[in-house]
Amino acid sequence: MNKPSIYGLTFEQLTDWLGERGHRKFRAGQVWEQLYRKRVSAFSDMTEVREDCVKLLEDHYEIMTLKEHTKQEALDGTVKFLFQLVDGNLIETVLMRHKFGLSVCVTTQVGCNIGCSFCASGLLKKSRDLTSGEIVEQVMQVQHHLDQVGKGEKVSHIVVMGIGEPFDNYVHMANFIRVIKDHKGLAIGPRHITVSTSGLADKIVAFADSDLNVNLAISLHAPNNELRTRIMKINKAIPIEKLMNAIDYYLDKTNRRITLEYILLKDVNDQPEHALELAELVGERRHLANVNLIPYNPVDEHSQYQRSSKETITAFYDTLKKQGISCSVRLEHGTDIDAACGQLRSKQIKKAQ
């Protein structure tokens, strides 16, 4: 049987696990230090940890369970990794360079069941959830890559926006966040972590009630139910009114700003009337919301969608601004490689077939 990745344990879980096997708390601290500060990739490299403890860990866990399958590097420094899981499935992880630091976009599921009609990732249905260990390991694999490059760079931001709906894998997503936030380990600040959901209303409420305290982004993509259902079939089950109620609950409870993601699809949702309708929908929430406009990356399988022109994007942005809505246009990364989320993975799977 495959052993799980040790990265799936929070510090408290590791302390309890070792404690139940006769090891005092400071031992968990030593192991944690080796994993996240010294960043060993084999238990045998944990030279500062007692031998019997190393042996115990070796018997029950792996450190690295993902194998690098493909790596694409773009001119702007974006690196797209395709990792193979122990069961042979492929997942994508992306390292992006920004002025403010280095961010990693992680995947939370193998495939996705939400079925957004523009998305390359959703072309392949969900076959399973990732464990929290597999999600943390994506960050660690990228950090190990940076360590090997040798410039002393460190992952500073995390976006949970890769393949899958993170709130459909809530328990593992939450454990993942607890691990990467731990100040003795990777110590990624809560304001540097963003989870993006297609709008699972009950989970937005649970997220608001939780102690995770990280940023939330909602994939809105349309200002009314008719259009949103066309673009995102999840809107049939969770219409905009229900989503907005959950968002209001989140804003009331946390007083944190949210991001509303809006992918611009040529002649579908990118016209001035859509911008006006969107401004009205955001309405009173405007002081706590930022609309992030995303220029579409066309994929062969969804030829019905094209990228909006620069002029259309600017006009949409200006209309929102005039209505007093805070908004931005997402900077693009890795345009010379398979830039759309899930594109590299689906290409490789097709090739294999």
Residues binding ligand SF4 (CB under 6 A):
112, 114-116, 119, 121-122, 163-165, 198
Q: Which is nearer to ligand SF4, 14 or 234 (CB)?
A: 234
Q: Is 116 annotated as a binding residue?
A: yes
Question: Least distance in Å: CB of 260 to ligand SF4?
Answer: 14
* CB-based closest residue to ligand SF4: 122
Q: Which is nearer to ligand SF4, 47 or 306 (CB)?
A: 306
Among 165, 219, 163, CA closest to 345: 163
Name the catalytic one among 62, 92, 134, 137.
92
Q: Is 14 annotated as a binding residue?
A: no
Residues near 196 by Cβ (< 8 Å), separated by ≥ 6? 159, 160, 161, 166, 216, 217, 218, 219, 259, 261
Does residue 105 have an active-site annotation? no
Question: Least distance in Å: CB of 114 to ligand SF4?
Answer: 4
Does residue 92 have an active-site annotation? yes
Beta partners for 295? 264
For 94, phi and psi rounded to 5 degrees?
-130, 135
Contact 80, 346 (CB under 8 A): no
Question: Least distance in Å: CB of 193 to ligand SF4?
Answer: 18
Q: Which is nearer to ligand SF4, 112 or 325 (CB)?
A: 112
SS3 218: strand
Q: Which is nearer to ligand SF4, 105 or 114 (CB)?
A: 114
**Distance between CA 83 and CA 130 in Å, rounded?**
12
Q: Is 219 annotated as a binding residue?
A: yes
**Distance between CA 213 and CA 219 in Å, rounded?**
19
Q: Is 112 annotated as a binding residue?
A: yes
Question: Least distance in Å: CB of 164 to ligand SF4?
Answer: 6
Helices (H), 154-215: 170-181, 201-209
Q: Is 165 annotated as a binding residue?
A: yes
SS3 158: strand
Q: Which residues belong to the active site? A: 92, 341
Which parts are annotated binding residues for [4Fe-4S] cluster?
112, 116, 119
Which parts are annotated binding residues?
112, 116, 119, 164-165, 196, 219-221, 297
